[in-house]
Structure 1
Amino acid sequence: MTTAELTEPKSDERASILLVDDMEDNLVALEAVLGSLNEPLVRARSGEEAMKAILRRRFAVILLDIRMPGMDGFETATNIKRLDQTKNVPIIFLTGTDSDDTGYAFRGYATGAADYLTKPFDPWVLRAKVTVFLDLHRKNQQLERLLAREQQQFDALAARMTSIERQLSQAADPDVRELRHHLTRMEETMRTMRRP
């Protein structure tokens, strides 16, 4: 596997961005600001829709409005953070300037938000923040691929050693028994290295 293969995202691993807001105008504005990032933008008009979306697809970052009918942004974020597959997805809270900024910001960070912006937001700032989370997502995917590759190589080596040991166990020669003893110690060392 080349460096290019490890760093370029596969088509099914693109860094999707979830946009959650009950107002159509806000979703259109977010799409206009983030469209130039060339990553899939997925809309959700409520907390309930957002929860369905995160169960169907992997997201790099979630932009979440706080004030929505039904399940508000805080409750949605709490539910997102409870799920194993989404607990580490960064959330950027968005709220209107008429909100109690201090109280809302505190609650947002308390629910696990990575950032908090008020509307109207600066498009350049929002795009820059989202870009940072997209980069982190890509680096995490690259690391996952590297770890999976290392695990495959480790498993292949362990299987090969087991096969050699099995063949040696059938031999009666004293030198072979000594070699078998060393192989057993190597396997124990490998098992120890494999533990987290």
Structure 2
Amino acid sequence: MTPPPPDTAPILIVDDMEENLVALEAVLGSLATKVVRARSGEEALKAMLREEFAVVLIDVLMPGMSGFETAANIKGLDQTKDVPVILLTGASVDPDYAYRGYTVGAADFLVKPFDPWLLRTKVNVFLDLYRKNHQLAAQATQLKRLLTGSSETPTSPAEPGRATPPPSEPTPTPTPPPGDDASLADIASRLAQIELLLRDARDTESAGLADRIAALEQAVERLLAGRGA
């Protein structure tokens, strides 16, 4: 499964009725993002193993694999367990449907006919979360490369005719290259960006990670200040 570029943030809609798929496409069309169809739970699972989606909208009442079963299978696979699921059902809904939906891992439950503005708003929340997660992952990968690069000490080849000192001989501390300070400043800047993204997520796990990122940022700034002294 190859992740798409973060700006595409595709949506998967699952319903066995053509008219319902057309209606969903019309409601979601203003979000200017790719919408993929599936006519059954089995087809939806195959699509999700081929492509990464920001959110999945599933009709509850489908022949064969129901919406509940489809959601449970999505949450049971490592490749798809983190994809948010919104379940949709008709007006004559069983009072236990919402409970069953949340039990299988659905993020939300809407009863038809639903307000198009409300559905777009809910879907847009997951699209924004998808983009922020991809942005955070990209920042973390780039930061890792910067940290790895700054920790490597370049080795100079031995001068011709000069013997290599034995292992027991103390090696002088190398002088940091001129670009090191710039690299550390860049790392501090990227740490600050990642911290802001984590603070914006507003959950306990992200807040704790943001605190650790802030501490690392301060350590880099102290290192820069020490070099300037």
TM-score, scaled relative to structure 1 = 0.77
- Structure 1: where are the runs of 5+ without partners? 1-9, 181-192
Of Structure 1 and Structure 2, which has the larger fraction of its residues in helix?
1
User: Which one-letter code corresponds to 1:27 in the other structure?
Assistant: L
Shift, 1:150, TM fit? 1.1
Contact 2:4 2:52 in 1 (8 A): no
Structure 1 stretches of 4+ with a deviation exceeding 6 A read: none
Q: Which residue of structure 1 lines up, in the alignment, with residue 96 of structure 2?
A: 103
Alignment match of 1:136 (pick from 129, 132, 150)? 129
User: Which one-letter code corresponds to 2:45 in the other structure?
Assistant: M
Alignment match of 1:124 (pick from 117, 131, 137)? 117
Q: Which residue of structure 2 lines up, in the alignment, with residue 61 of structure 1?
A: 55
Distance between the aligned counterparts of 1:166 and 1:77, measured in 2? Answer: 60
Q: How does 1:24-173 map to 2 (within 5 A)?
A: 24-100=18-94, 102-158=95-151, 160-161=152-153, 163-164=154-155, 171-172=165-166
- Structure 2: where are the runs of 5+ without partners? 159-163, 175-211, 213-229
Q: Count residues in correspondence.
A: 166
User: Which one-letter code corresponds to 1:68 in the other structure?
Assistant: M
Distance between the aligned counterparts of 1:171 and 1:11, measured in 2? Answer: 52
* 1:117-142 deviations in Å (ceiling 9; x for gaps): 00111101000000111011110010
Distance between the aligned counterparts of 1:51 and 1:132, measured in 2? Answer: 23
- RMSD (Å) for aligned C-alpha atoms: 2.5
Instruction: Using the aligned pairs only, state the percent identity.
Output: 55
Aligned partner of residue 43 in structure 1, secondary structure: strand
Distance between the aligned counterparts of 1:142 and 1:94, measured in 2? Answer: 30
Distance between the aligned counterparts of 2:76 and 2:4, measured in 1? Answer: 28
Q: Which has the higher contact order (CA 8 A, sep 6+)?
A: 1
Shift, 1:166, TM fit? 10
Aligned partner of residue 23 in structure 2, secondary structure: helix
TM-score, scaled relative to structure 2 = 0.66
Shift, 1:86, TM fit? 1.3
Distance between the aligned counterparts of 1:124 and 1:49, measured in 2? Answer: 28
Of Structure 1 and Structure 2, which has the larger fraction of its residues in strand?
1
Larger Rg: 2
